[in-house]
Amino acid sequence: MAQAEYTTERRPKRAPLWPTLVAVLRTLGSIAVTLLGLLFVTFVIGRIMPIDPVLAIVGERASKSTYDAVYYQLGLDKPMLVQFLYYLWDVIHLDFGTSLLNARPVSEDIARVFPATLELATLGIILGVVLGVPLGVLAAVRKGSWIDQVARVLALVGYSMPIFWLGLMGLLLFYGILGWVGGPGRVGIFYVDVVPRVTGMLLIDSLFARNLDVFKDAFSHIILPASLLGYYSLAYISRMTRSFMLEQLSAEYITTARVKGMSEWDVVWKHAFKNIRVQLITVIALSYAGLLEGSVLTEIIFSWPGIGSYITTALLSADMNAVLGGTVVVGLVFILLNIFADLLYKVFDPRAK
């Protein structure tokens, strides 16, 4: 009998799980340390501010017994470390205390106002990326041309002009004189609370409710402040894109690709632009985070009920619970965007895997 022949197939070796587990634990550890540092800094700021939280609650005419009762109720008689541990425990449970302005939980106020800022900043960064990246690439490819000069002037104006001045001029021209856009606020007074709140972002909620009238009115109100934020981010993104592209276009591999007869489109977009994607991810993530936390002046000028105007109003009213809660949320947004950028690195750059 012929012996049966047995063949063994080579199976690809699986990557060991230990390095992946270590990387995940290291990432989680860095996030935890960053959050702990953020909470500690906000706690210290709340304690060194020249504002007495007890007087902010009871008022200056309160009796000493009332003052002492609130003082002990807030735990201010305990050591600083114990106070921080109590603060840390409350924040872990999403308890930022009660607002002094409206006696509502700060977490509920933040959940109400943050979607407005998220909607405004998201539309702004979309405009900045869609217009800024092609403009920066074109300026680098046509270095020294009129297109390059226009791009550099636009970036310079975006950096130099105060955003509050641009906002006032925009309201005067496009709303006051031309009437092309809606005025301050998120929506006209006749459309307030017309559509049910689902995401808190009025454009999306109006589409969910299939109410095109509210959508059009909300879009007319958001387009001007979003365009200003988009122009601000465009100035930064286009400038950085131009700088990255100039560095790549002067590299030897680009010269080699052109010598081989490759089309200019492939040279620019399939080679040079491909190698700057990771750098652009960082630029866009930082710009987006900056719009989420730095749109205070824009929100104030346009009476936009976002987290920037919420924190400003709370600070002017000595409402430290609201100020610290908003600060923690903004810091958390920065951390989450950095994590998201790290994940995109591994998608666009095989060397990061």
Question: How many Cβ atoms sit within 10 Å of the Cβ of residue 294?
Answer: 16
Domain 106-352, architecture per CATH: Orthogonal Bundle (1.10)
**pLDDT, average across residues 204-217:** 92
Q: Do residues 117 and 297 touch, judged by C-beta distance below 8 A?
A: no
Instruction: Identify the pLDDT of residue 121.
Output: 92
**221: pLDDT confidence band, cut at 50, 70 and 90?**
very high
Task: Inform me whether the pLDDT recorded for 289 exceeds 80.
Answer: yes
Task: Inform me whether the pLDDT recorded for 11 exceeds 60.
Answer: no
- Give the tens place of pLDDT for each residue, 187-202: 888 888 888 888 989 9
Task: Inform me whether the pLDDT recorded for 123 exceeds 90.
Answer: yes
Q: Where in the chain is the domain with CATH 1.10.3720.10?
A: 106-352
The separation between CA 50 and the C-alpha centre of its own chain, rounded to angstroms, equals: 29
Q: Is the dihedral of CA 111, 117, 120, 125 positive or negative?
A: negative
Instruction: Identify the pLDDT of residue 334.
Output: 82
Question: How many Cβ atoms sit within 10 Å of the Cβ of residue 3?
Answer: 5
Instruction: Identify the pLDDT of residue 47.
Output: 76
Instruction: Identify the pLDDT of residue 10.
Output: 54
37 CB-contact burial (10 Å; exposed 0-12 / middle 13-18 / buried 19+):
exposed
**pLDDT, average across residues 203-208:** 92
- Give the tens place of pLDDT for each residue, 84-110: 888 888 888 888 888 877 878 888 999
Instruction: Identify the pLDDT of residue 2.
Output: 47
Contacts of 157 (CB under 8 A, 6+ apart): 235
* Residue 347, amino acid: V
> What is the DSSP track for 161-210?
S-HHHHHHHHIIIIIIIS--S--SSSS-GGGTT-SPPSSS-HHHHHHHTT
**351: pLDDT confidence band, cut at 50, 70 and 90?**
low
Q: Do residues 141 and 254 touch, judged by C-beta distance below 8 A?
A: no
